[in-house]
Structure 1
Amino acid sequence: MLKRVSLFSILIALSTASFAQQHSEQHYKGYVVPKDPAVQAKLKQWQGVKFGLLMHWGTYSSWGIVESWSLCPEDEGWCERRGPYASNWYEYKKAYEAIPKTFNPVKFNPDRWASAAKAAGMKYVVFTTKHHDGFCMFDTKQTDYKITNTPFGTNPKANVAKEVFKSFRDQGFMVGAYFSKPDWHTDTYWWSYFPPKDRNPSYHPAKYPEKWKAFKQYTYNQIEELMSDYGKMDILWLDGGWVRPFSTIDSTISWQKTIPFDQDIDMPKIAAMARQHQPGLLVVDRTVSGEFENYVTPEQSIPSEALPFPWESCMTMGDSWSYIPKENFKSTRKLTHLLVDIVSKGGNLLLNIAPGPDGEWHEEAYQRLEEIGKWMNVNGEAIYETTPVAPYQSGKWAFTQKGTAVYALYRAEEGEKLPAAVSIPFPGKWSKVSLLGTPGKLKVEASGIRLAESFRKKVADSPVYVFRLEP
């Protein structure tokens, strides 16, 4: 197995962020406002924190490949197999599912992650407890295909998900569990009697109702473990939107048109159970519009305009959702601009960082978070607990509001300095104008705001300059 891992470690990583966006195409309709006051209160709290961390992590990090998708027998870019077993799907799956025999992330230190995320201004976390491949990053009692059944199983922190949740909760974060509804390892989803043809069950659930009933129970049991044994939970973030009632399929969306049959796992029962253990829990059944999608989650994309309901863009810090040895991280400027773009339209940014097989992030990821944190320390008041305000954006400008104050955020290009005269394209008259991070009030003239040369020399370079406008 060591030889197999070394062969895969030199592969060029599969393209992920540009291809595996099965949820990026979504029509935002059918949103249902939660009726439960506890859920409403939690949703309001979540909308105020604005900035969160997502982590995709599993045994696939050992090979530096796309998360789970290379197992899927579909002719799509994100499912492409590479390496010594690529020519035979059965051999490939056997080798893939043997990775746990050598998976040993000895550098796993969730306290460091939580500290870095907090310093960056992040306030909630969503951690992958199980992706589509079925490997569990928590100590489930439903299967042996789990992190505690690896060489890392003797480590005091072997129950990885529990340790992650505790570390972030201790630092004041809202905590969320990512959980894949499909499971390509369990025999009750990809039944070994029939070879899988695609991402869906390898059998027709209506023809084999007892098999599907067993899968539903398996799913229910695992979610109940997460909701009852892992401390206080704020979010249940469910992925794999093709597992859904047939009646909810939107035939105008290309990826949903390929869902061949009903895959109802009884979300009312799951949500009721989860909220019995975790009152006020936000349930995010991604892309399945209705009662159990408390906020919508455009993937690797930002809506062109403000949306009239809670939403979150989930995006990667680099190019990949999963760990690849050489990642192409976005610049701090780009990441800050993304955050401002999203928040000015009323959304949250859930930014993904992928740990490697040793249990660590790329050092460059820590650098990005540190640099974002420096900007947030000065300008966070224009982000947290704000609401969108028309006209939302104008050119390089974006706007947020808190109370009577309006924040005008100027997204500067690399090396761009503030000019001597600034004209903010926002309607109204303002008696007080200040630049966050710089002491003193600015002089407001009929033509705009004039910045003295002595003042401009005091202004530090910034990816986004923030003006506070007060009546």
Structure 2
Amino acid sequence: MKNFLLLALLTISLISFAQKNNKNYKEQWQFEAKDSSMYVTAAQQRELFATDKEMQWFKDAKLGIFVHWGPALLKTNVLSWGRFGERPGAGKPATNGVVPEVYDNLYKKFNPKNFDADKWMQQVKDWGAEYIVFTAKHHDGFTFFDAKNTDYSIMNTPYGKDICKQLADAAHKAGVKLFWYYSQPDWTHPDNLREKHYENYLPYMKEHVKQLFTEYGKIDGVFWDHLATKYWQWDSYHVLKDLKKWQPGIISNARTGFGWPLNDRGDYDTPEQSLGPVNHHRYWEACLTMTDKWLYSPKGPIKPYETVLGMLIQVAGNGGNLLLNLGPNGKGEFVEKEAIEAKKVGDWIKKYGKTIKNTRRGIYIGGDYGASTQVGNKLYIHVLQKRANNAFASIELPKLPTEIIAAKGITDGFENYEIKNGKLILHFDKSEFDKNLDNIVELTLAKNPSNFERIETWKAITIAKKEFDVNSSSFIKIKNKPEVIYSTKGNVFSEGIHLKSWWEPSKDDKNPSLSLDFKSAKKVKTVLLSENMRSHCVRNFTIETKDNIGNWKTCYQGKTIGEGLRIKLNGNAIYGIRLNVLENTKNIQITAFNVYE
């Protein structure tokens, strides 16, 4: 008994120690400024904001390409975070990964001999994007430019040529806007966020920044990545002042460090692996991955173009840009299968881009119907909602506060509209409606819709968990039981937030299914489905409804789910609903399966 008590006390002590260390991990990297000049007033912070004119091209662009790349791909598919070792500036310590002795020497074997900057820029344009964000330096400290103050650079690889210089020259020639991604924290520099941070590391960082923004011609933006640090630790005020002097008109993301006097940091917000908010007070950019990782991930699930387009349309309709990440391979080429899907996105943009590019978020706030965009007196309704077999091909929206002068379908299938009982009802041909990824209607209005307040379209109140029992064919782990996606603590579908829990069936489940059995009849009008943002892998599925005697009948068959798929039912009373996944490319991870009356 005595030994047992000693063991229990030791275990409790170790747990307490680990929790304390975890709790204080990020605080250890935060400290006061070297001098008072590094702190700023609200007025000084306002000096740094880009003007509306400087932000215009960015708001018009709607789509950019993010590129995470580095020697790390020779051993891991996780850039920087795949390195075992200290993580100055991060919120959590490393628990696994490639040991520093190996990770930090991978650059000596890195030889992307097929890299072609001009080809990259042509691909960016073919994919419908207007700008590229490139990782000049990530948290691991490796530099893709000819940094004069370190040997840990592309210049000391077998490749031996300045990648940033080639990208800048190619971007200028092709007319593609260029951002440098630069991580202020550096996990391989001995003085970063340590005792001699201000004496040694900050001058080292500033030398990089000056070089990147003075020696490569016109640079249009900067994507910082401060992790859990404070703005004064990077002397962000003076660094940004210098950037605006060196690169007039440059725009900056929000990741310049916490602690600024004003809540709004940088020129726009950067939700990550999330579609972002539907009615935010300022512009934003959602950065998402084409696969499950930011770095090259050869075995990861690739998002189909339908999913990417659905996200782009939702993002544009709610006041943001989509920054889509593709990770090149070790030869310096984009992965062919990823590039094929991205090219399909570009082909769609060539055909329908006027309803997305150069627009602003529409008067109709995003909801179960889809999203809206507008420019001048033109309002574009993007109907992303799908239709069950027995549902009408019509969409109801609140009546507009101004007269409709004309209405026409941009895609095939739009028939007419009517105003009835305070609603605007759009009618479509069922066959054509079902063929289109996005059913687009152009409304010409008597007055510019930007003169009116935005209109909420959907009160997203789900049928409560207490009203149904949830069952699945299997689950891979306890944490992936189907009940977890109905947790109100961390898995609420609200304004497109990243859902953090999911149902995942066993790998050997031949007929994976997820069902909700209602305790009483429900008149369901909308079904919401989402997959884990990193695993959009469903390629064929059905939705079935249950009648009062327990029979299941298919009401919808689809190919892809992706993020925030809404399916319209006819509202008849049903006693249950079931998702059957018939085909998938990787592990199924369903984050939302909700129903609305």
TM-score scaled to structure 2, two decimals? 0.60
Deviation at 1:270? Answer: 0.9
Q: Deviations over 1:44-67 (max 9, x none)?
A: 221121111111111111113311
Q: Which amino acid aligns with 1:81?
A: N
Percent identity between the two aligned chains: 26
Q: Deviations over 1:54-106 (max 9, x none)?
A: 11111111113311112344799994435xxx6xxxxx211111111111011
Which one of the candidate residues 389, 397, 410 is aligned to 1:425?
Answer: 397
| SS class of match (2:364) | strand
CA 1:242–1:420: 2 relative to 1, 3 Å? closer
Q: CA RMSD in A?
A: 3.0
CA 1:281–1:418: 2 relative to 1, 3 Å? farther
Whether the 8 Å contact between 1:64 and 1:325 is mirrored in structure 2 is no
Whether the 8 Å contact between 1:271 and 1:292 is mirrored in structure 2 is no
Q: Give me the whole-angstrom Cα distance separating, in 2, the residues matched to 1:346 and 1:139.
A: 37
| SS class of match (2:442) | strand
Deviation at 1:37? Answer: 8.7
Query: Which residue of the partner structure matches residue 249 of structure 1?
Result: none
Whether the 8 Å contact between 1:50 and 1:347 is mirrored in structure 2 is yes
Which one of the candidate residues 351, 357, 361 is aligned to 1:384?
Answer: 357
CA 1:109–1:460: 2 relative to 1, 3 Å? farther
Query: Which residue of the partner structure matches residue 99 of structure 1?
Result: 106
The answer as to 2:151 corresponding to 1:139 is no
Deviation at 1:303? Answer: 2.9
| SS class of match (1:361) | coil
Query: Which residue of the partner structure matches residue 284 of structure 1?
Result: 253
Deviation at 1:452? Answer: 5.8
| SS class of match (1:223) | helix
Query: Which residue of the partner structure matches residue 131 of structure 2?
Result: 124
How many residues are matched? 392
1:35-114 equivalence runs, <5 A:
35=47, 39-69=51-81, 70-73=83-86, 79-82=94-97, 92-114=99-121
Q: Give me the whole-angstrom Cα distance separating, in 2, the residues matched to 1:366 and 1:392.
A: 32
Query: Which residue of the partner structure matches residue 210 of structure 2?
Result: 224
Deviation at 1:320? Answer: 0.4
Q: Deviations over 1:262-289 (max 9, x none)?
A: x612112211221211012112241635
Q: Which amino acid aligns with 1:465?
A: N
Whether the 8 Å contact between 1:32 and 1:294 is mirrored in structure 2 is no
Structure with more relative contact order (C-alpha pairs < 8 Å, separation 6 or more): 1
Which one of the candidate residues 424, 436, 439 is aligned to 1:462?
Answer: 436
Moved more, 62-71 or 121-130: 62-71
Q: Which amino acid aligns with 2:267?
A: N
Q: Which amino acid aligns with 1:244?
A: K
Query: Which residue of the partner structure matches residue 185 of structure 1?
Result: 188
Deviation at 1:187? Answer: 2.5
Query: Which residue of the partner structure matches residue 350 of structure 1?
Result: 323
Q: Give me the whole-angstrom Cα distance separating, in 2, the residues matched to 1:371 and 1:31.
A: 46
Which one of the candidate residues 115, 118, 124 is aligned to 2:122?
Answer: 115
Which one of the candidate residues 172, 175, 178 is aligned to 1:172?
Answer: 175
Query: Which residue of the partner structure matches residue 165 of structure 2?
Result: 162
| SS class of match (1:434) | strand
| SS class of match (1:46) | helix
Q: Give me the whole-angstrom Cα distance separating, in 1, the residues matched to 2:233 and 2:92.
A: 28
CA 1:231–1:418: 2 relative to 1, 3 Å? farther
Query: Which residue of the partner structure matches residue 486 of structure 2?
Result: none
CA 1:231–1:220: 2 relative to 1, 3 Å? same
Deviation at 1:319? Answer: 0.8
Whether the 8 Å contact between 1:31 and 1:309 is mirrored in structure 2 is no
For structure 2, the 5+ residue unaligned runs are 1-25, 27-41, 446-597
| SS class of match (2:122) | helix
Q: Deviations over 1:353-397 (max 9, x none)?
A: 111111112111111111111211122112112122333123132
For structure 1, the 5+ residue unaligned runs are 1-21, 23-29, 87-91, 190-200, 246-262
Q: Give me the whole-angstrom Cα distance separating, in 2, the residues matched to 1:366 and 1:31.
A: 45
| SS class of match (2:189) | coil
| SS class of match (1:393) | coil
Q: Give me the whole-angstrom Cα distance separating, in 2, the residues matched to 1:421 and 1:412.
A: 10
Query: Which residue of the partner structure matches residue 242 of structure 1?
Result: 228
